[in-house]
């Protein structure tokens, strides 16, 4: 039996200390959260991605009375990006909450598809955590073994 340890490296800051590009991305995610449809959970989430072509796209959670039919903010914007800009890789994503397990796997697949790390900014109130790769959020994704 072998024992192993891994460390996750990330930065903690606040909205006032983000660089202008990251601040814009987070602002877009926060605005997107305001358009979420969350009548059942009351938990509105927004996400914004920056593509390598310079586009910033947004998404938000969309709930449904048939609970599995809803979609999280992260997946709504990632799937939109891949459907409408298939040749432009996602460089970074800002999310107004911590992503669920399904969204982490979708983000990991997007990172693998892009062939480059996707920077992840997670907001919790005024606190922002910045990760240099999705792998920091899901170190043992489906493709890791």
Is 144 a member of any domain?
no
55, 63, 74, 111: which is the annotated catalytic residue? 74
Is 1 a member of any domain?
no
- Is 52 a residue of the active site? no
Residue 120 domain boundaries:
10-135
Is 140 a member of any domain?
no
Structure tokens at 86: 């298939």
Q: Is the pLDDT of residue 10 over 70?
A: yes
* pLDDT for the residue numbered 140: 86
Is 102 a member of any domain?
yes
Could you report the per-residue pLDDT of 57-91, keeping only the tens digit for each? 999 999 999 988 999 999 999 999 999 999 999 99
Is 98 a member of any domain?
yes
Tokens 């999310």 belong to 95
Query: Residues 138, 111: contact at Cβ < 8 Å?
Result: no
CATH code, 77: 3.40.140.10
Mean pLDDT of the chain: 95
Interior/surface letters 52-72, b for 16+ CB within 10 angstroms, e for the rest:
eeeebbbbbbbbeeeeeebbb
Could you report the per-residue pLDDT of 20-37, keeping only the tens digit for each? 999 999 999 999 999 999
Is 54 a member of any domain?
yes
- Distance CA(4)–CA(8), nearest Å, equals 14
* pLDDT for the residue numbered 96: 97
Is 5 a member of any domain?
no
Q: Is the pLDDT of residue 142 over 70?
A: yes
Is 142 a member of any domain?
no
What's the pTM value of the predicted model, to 2 decimals?
Answer: 0.93
Structural domain total, the chain = 1
């Amino acid at each position: 039996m072998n024992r192993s340890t891994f460390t996750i490296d990330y930065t903690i800051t606040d909205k006032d200390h983000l660089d202008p590009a990251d601040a814009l991305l987070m602002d877009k995610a926060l605005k997107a959260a305001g358009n979420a449809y969350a009548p059942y959970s009351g938990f509105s989430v927004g996400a914004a991605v920056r593509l390598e072509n310079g586009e910033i796209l947004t998404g938000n959670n969309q709930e449904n009375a048939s609970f599995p039919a809803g979609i999280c903010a992260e997946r709504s914007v990632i799937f939109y990006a891949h459907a409408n800009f298939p040749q432009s890789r996602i460089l970074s994503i800002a999310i107004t909450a911590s992503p669920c397990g399904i969204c982490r796997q979708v983000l990991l697949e997007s990172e693998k598809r892009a062939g480059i790390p996707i920077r992840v900014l997670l907001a919790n109130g005024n606190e922002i955590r910045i990760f240099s790769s999705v792998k920091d959020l899901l170190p043992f994704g489906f493709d890791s073994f």
